Chains A and B, each alone.
Chain A
Amino acid sequence: MNDLLEVRALNKRYPVGPGRRALHAVEAASFTIRRGESLGLVGESGSGKSTLARILARLIDATDGSIVFAGEELSTLPAARVARTPWRARIQMVLQDPGDSLNPRCTAFQAIAEPMLRLGTATGPSSRAGGSVAERVTELARQVGLPEALLGRFPHQLSGGQKARVGIARALAPGPELLILDEPTSALDVSVQATILHLLDRLRKELGISYLFVSHDLNVVRLMCERILVMYLGRIAEIGPTEAVLDAPLHPYTQALVAAIPGRRRANMPHLELPGEPMSPIDPDPNTCRFHGRCPKAQALCVRSMPLLREHAPGHQAACHVS
Chain B
Amino acid sequence: MSGPQPPLLAVSALSVEFRTRSGKVRALDNVSLTLRKGELVALVGESGSGKSVTAFAIMRVLDPAARITSGSLHFGGMDLLAMKDAELAELRGRELSMIFQNPRAALNPIRRVGRQIEDVLLRHAAVPRQALRAQAIAALTQVRIPDPEKRYAAYPHELSGGMCQRIMIAMALACRPALLIADEPTTGLDVTTQAAILDLMRELAHARGMAMLLITHDLGLAAEYCDRVVVMHAGHVVETAPTSRLLSLPRHPYSAKLIAATPRVDRRLDDLAAIAGNLPDLRRADLPPCRFSERCDRYTPTCAAPLPSNTVAAEHAVACHHPL
Contact = CB atoms under 8 A, between A and B. Distances in A.
Interface of A: 44-45, 159, 189-195, 197-198, 201, 216-220, 222-224, 256-257, 259-267, 271, 273-277
A222 B263 contact: yes
A198 B195 contact: no
Given A219-B263, A277-B160, 11 more contacts: A190-B263, A191-B46, A191-B258, A201-B269, A260-B191, A260-B192, A260-B194, A260-B195, A263-B223, A267-B265, A277-B163
Contact of A190 (B258, B267, B268): B258
B274 A194 contact: yes
Interface residues of B toward A: which range? 35 or more
B268 A223 contact: yes
B47 interface: yes
Nearest to A159: B278
Contact of A198 (B218, B264, B269): B269
B46 to A, nearest CB: 4
Contacts of A190: 46, 217, 219, 258, 261-263
B184 to A, nearest CB: 13
A164 B116 CA distance: 40
A219 B272 CA distance: 12
A168 to B, nearest CB: 15
Nearest to A47: B190
B224 A216 contact: no
Contacts of A192: 274
- Residue from B46, B218, B261 having most chain A Cβ neighbours under 10 A: B261
A194 B261 contact: yes
B227 to A, nearest CB: 13
Contacts of A219: 220, 263-265
A191 B263 contact: no
Interface in B90-104: none
B284 to A, nearest CB: 16
Contacts, number: 98
B307 interface: no
Contacts of A256: 192
Contact of B274 (A198, A264, A273, A275): A198
A191 B274 contact: yes
Interface in B243-264: 257-258, 261-264
B81 interface: no
A262 B269 contact: no
B127 interface: no
B4 interface: no
Interface in B190-233: 190-196, 199, 217-221, 223-224
Contacts of B268: 223
B265 A264 contact: yes
Given A190-B46, A191-B275, A216-B190, A266 B258 contact: no
Contact of B272 (A197, A264, A265): A197
Nearest to B260: A194
B269 A223 contact: yes
A192 B217 CA distance: 13
B128 to A, nearest CB: 34
B271 to A, nearest CB: 9
A262 B160 contact: no
Contact of A261 (B46, B262, B265): B265
Nearest to A195: B274
B146 interface: yes
Contact of A218 (B191, B199, B218, B219): B191
